[in-house]
Amino acid sequence: MSVKEYEGIKIPYSIQIREDFLDRKVRNVIKSSLKYEQNTLKDFIKLTDKVDGESSYDLGFVLTQIINRIGEQKFIELTRNLNSAERKLLKNYIEVGLEYGDNNHDGEVDNERIENVYKKINEIL
């Protein structure tokens, strides 16, 4: 499987092959996240309606990579305008990204848990 990167964040194959321009939309979310744009997480949430199966897991992996790049505190700041349902959805995607993503780049899924990796985010979400 081919993985391409955008701004240093891996975009998995299941997102690249979609015919609905999902990879372009994901790149836009990455770009706005790295600029700390306030609506970026709402844009991410809109993408979750367009994925299922493997793409859902991979979208979670993209989200955890974004958090790793911008840091927990900046991510928390971006969640301020989200309601509780939106926060819960983000938490679910983070959990999937930590469990099934390869955030440490060792070629294996990480099988991590949010309470061990992102303690502050876990408390807020």
Count the residues in the chain: 125
φ and ψ of 102, to 5 deg: -115, 65
Confidence of residue 23 (pLDDT cuts 50, 70, 90): confident
Cβ-count burial of 65 within 10 angstroms (0-12 exposed, 13-18 middle, 19+ buried)? Answer: buried
Of 1-15, 19-33, 58-72, least confident by mean pLDDT is: 1-15
- Element housing 120 (H / E): helix 119-124
Q: Mean pLDDT across the stretch 97-120? A: 94
Tens digit of pLDDT for each residue in 28-63? Answer: 999 999 999 999 999 999 999 988 889 999 999 999
pTM: 0.93
pLDDT at 66: 98
Determine the Cα–Cα distance for residues 73 and 78; give it in Å rounded to an integer: 9
